[in-house]
Amino acid sequence: MSTDEPIRDDEPGELETGDSASSSAAAHAAASDETTAALSDIEALPLAERAPGYQALADRLRIELEQSDPSRPSDSSRHTG
């Protein structure tokens, strides 16, 4: 490929389609807004009372991440608590 040839970004499978990209962005924005709101609520608490809120938020985010990663096996035996 010479440097004079235009770069093609429309190869199949390389980029998300407009619809899936916008829905993905909307989902990310909503999740980000929820996280921001949760952090604001936690940080409004007295310092001594924040740990349970941070732990609950971390647990929720971990679960969401595990559910959104299709390459992770769904092995419930890994979770000890």
Residue 58 lies in a domain: yes
Task: Tell me which of 61 and 25 has the higher pLDDT.
Answer: 61
How far is Cα 44 from Cα 37, in angstroms, rounded to an integer? 11
**Rounded to two decimals, what is the model's pTM?**
0.54
Residue 28 lies in a domain: no
- Is pLDDT of 28 > 80? no
Angle between helix 18-43 and 51-68 (nearest 10): 170
Residue 77 lies in a domain: no
What does the mean pLDDT of the chain come to? 76
Contact indicator for 24, 15 with CB cutoff of 8 Å? no
Confidence of residue 31 (pLDDT cuts 50, 70, 90): confident
Residue 73 lies in a domain: no
In the 8-state DSSP scheme, what is residue 66? H
49 residue type, one letter? E
Confidence of residue 79 (pLDDT cuts 50, 70, 90): low
CA dihedral 62, 68, 70, 75 (to 10 degrees): 40
- Is pLDDT of 29 > 90? no
